Structures are given as C-alpha cells and as structure tokens.
Amino acid sequence: MLRKGLAVLAISMSVALAGCSGGGESQGAPPPPEVTVATPLVGEVVDWDDFVGRFEAPENVDVKPRVSGYLVGTHFRDGQYVRRGQLLFTIDARPAQAQLDQARAQLVRAQAQAVNARTELARSRTLAEQRAASVEEVEQRQAALRSANADVSAASALLRARQLDIGFTRVLAPISGQVSQRQVDPGNAVTADQTVLTTVVSTNPLHFSFNGSEALLLRFQRQDSSRIGAPVRIKLQDEAQYVHAGRLDFVDNVLNAGSGTIRGRAVVPNPDGFLKPGMMGRLRLASSAPYRALMVPDTAIATDAARRVVYVVDRNSTVGVRPVQLGPLNGNLRVIRSGLGPQDQVIIGGIQRAMPGSKVKTKKGRIAPPTTTEPDAAAPQAPPPSVATSVVPASGR
C-alpha cells in the first residue's frame, strides 16, 4: 500500500510539473508582429522635369500717336480687353484738316497747269506743221507738260499724306489684348512717334519662358532631336496641381555661357484671361514616353547604408530585404526601376516592426493610385529634378 501511494504521488507531481513547464513556454514566446502587405501597383507613367519660369505676352505694344497735336478724347476703360482696330484716343483733327484742304487746292492748281501745258503743246505742234513755230518751241512745250504732270503727281502724293494725317488723329488698337491705363489725359499735347499713350498686351495664348541646364538639353537631344510640340504642365504659386496645359514651341539656338543654361518657351492657352504676363510658375516638361512601371508608397522604402530597400514577405511569412533602384516620385508613390516583381508582397504598413529573417503575421492591404501629381521636394530618396505622373493606372496586379 505504501508503494502504491508513492507511485500515485509521483505520477501526480510529474503531471503538475509538465503543466507548469508548458504554461511557462506559452507565456514567454510573444506572438509575431502584424504587418500590412500588398503587391506593387502597376500602371503607365510619364516622367517629367521641373523648371521655374515666368509668363510673357507674345505681343506687347506701346501705343504712340502718328501725328502731333492735342489729345481731345479717350475711348476705353483702363484695363479692358480691346480688339484690333478699336478706337482708343482722338487727337484734334482741325490742323490736319486745314492741311488737307490746302493739299487738295494744290492738286487742283497742278491739274489746271497740266491742262494748260497740254493745250499749249498742241497749239505749238499745229503751228510747227504750218512752219509758223520752231522745233525748239515745241520741245519747250513738251518739257513744260512733263513738269506740270510731275507737279500733279507731287500734289496727289501730298494729298494722300494729309489724308493719312487725318486718319492718324484717330489712334486705334494695334493688336487685340488687354489695355493698360492711359498715360496722357485729354488736353495735353502729344508728339508723333514719341509720346506713349498706353500699352496693349496680347493675352491668349501666353508664352511661358524658362531656363534649362545643358545636361537636360543633351539628354533631350539624345532621346529625341526635336522636342518642339512636347506637352508641358504649369502651376502657379498658390496651386497644388499642375492645371495649366501647354506645349513647348521654342528652344534657343545658343547656350548662355555664363550660366550654362538655355532658354525654352512654351505656349499656354489663356481663353479666360486668368493668367497674366509676369506671373511666376513651375513648369513640367515630359521627359519620357508613357511606360509601364511598378509603384509602391514612398513610406515603404527604407535605407540600408547606401542602398534603398523594401521589405517583402515570402510564403513562409518570413521578412526579406530587396535592394531596389528608385525612379521618380508619382504623387505619394515611388516608381521602382528594378529589384521588385509584380507579385512580391511588399510591407506597406508596420515596417518599423519588421526585422529581416523574422516571422510576421500579414494583413492584406491595397496600394491606391496616386492622389496628386505634386512632387515631394523634401523626400530624401527623390532623384531630382524628375517626377512622374500616372497615365493609365492598371487595375490588375
């Protein structure tokens, strides 16, 4: 009986010890950390280069009078849009009208003298046929007629000039565009081709001028010898998006030796006149054709010494490291040039809890298409000055 009791006691103690040992192991092993994984977003993107520039008016004209006189009228509101040929100013036309009347009288007198000279020549020729006049007299009459005809031509030209002066007393808009304020008030004397009355600038379309580096010029020329017509996008200082579209229409033929830059220009439609000459803006010039690319959130990219890496999870729920080559930033997503496949499970959430070689618990996530095309200038991994924008994000992965 004693032995039987001891055996039962030993078995009970063994079971108790086994239970305690198992409970200690379950309390000491923490569960694997949870991370969010998703496959890279696949879509077509376009690379862009950024430039800073200024809007300019294609046409900028100082309105000056063509005749001297006293200004008597203004026929526009400061800052309004005017059409080519619209009346802007009137100058006192009375002096010009008097000169016109005088030129008209001179023409009549010259014409009368020409008629008289023609009659004298005909009379001399008749007398010469009857041997009643000399050949010298006929020649003199012919010279007088030629002189009278020349006087008629001179008087006619003077009359046309005076008629132009009458027309020039009405100062018309030389181009269509927005007029500035008047610089001279009625009652003041103005001088022909000297006094600036106002200015008119064309507003639709506008030019956007910028400077690019020699390195970018060489890259563009090696990619495509003709960049004229390439699409551009522009944003103003208070805009978050590149909402103004245009096209490159001019690249200068000489680089600036001092700055090592070359001047470029884009044409931007401005039908509502919102854009003004002199405004500053940022321009994006397409530097590539649309291409298919993998994109992951920029926050999913880590730094390992001099490398850029992303963390992936394999089929065994083990964290791995993938060195990647980065492309431009597309909104909040980074283009991956190489090092990643379309089916890789990339850690996009909880990356701080992932350790290479450790086990993790995964939760399925989704990489949304970029919500903005604004470049993140503060992103340390951004390879300036390129950015990218999506063209057609792919739904499949």
State pLDDT tens for residues 333-366. 888 888 888 888 888 888 888 888 888 888 898 8
**Residue 372: what pLDDT?**
53
Q: What is the separation, in whole angstroms, between the first and last Cα of the chain?
A: 74
**Residue 368: what pLDDT?**
85
**Residue 380: what pLDDT?**
34
Other Cβ atoms less than 10 A from the Cβ of 202: the count is 19
**Residue 388: what pLDDT?**
56
Q: Rg (Cα) of the chain, in Å, rounded?
A: 44
pLDDT > 50? residue 393: no
Looking at the structure, give the CATH architecture of the domain made up of residues 34-49+290-393: Beta Barrel (2.40)
State pLDDT tens for residues 102-129. 999 999 998 888 888 888 878 777 777 7
Task: Give CA–CA dist 268/287, Å, rounded.
Answer: 18
| Class for the domain spanning 60-89+175-201 | mainly beta
Report residue 230 CA to chain centroid gap.
11
The domain limits of the chain are: 34-49+290-393, 51-58+202-286, 60-89+175-201, 93-168
pLDDT > 80? residue 17: no
Closest by CA to 106, choosing from 43, 41, 67, 151, is 151
Q: Which CATH number fits domain 51-58+202-286: 2.40.50.140, 3.30.470.20, 2.40.30.170, 3.20.20.80?
A: 2.40.30.170
**Residue 27: what pLDDT?**
56
CA dihedral in degrees (338, 343, 348, 350; nearest 10)? -120
Mean pLDDT value across residues 47-76? 91
The chain-wide mean pLDDT, for the chain, equals: 81
Looking at the structure, give the CATH architecture of the domain made up of residues 93-168: Orthogonal Bundle (1.10)
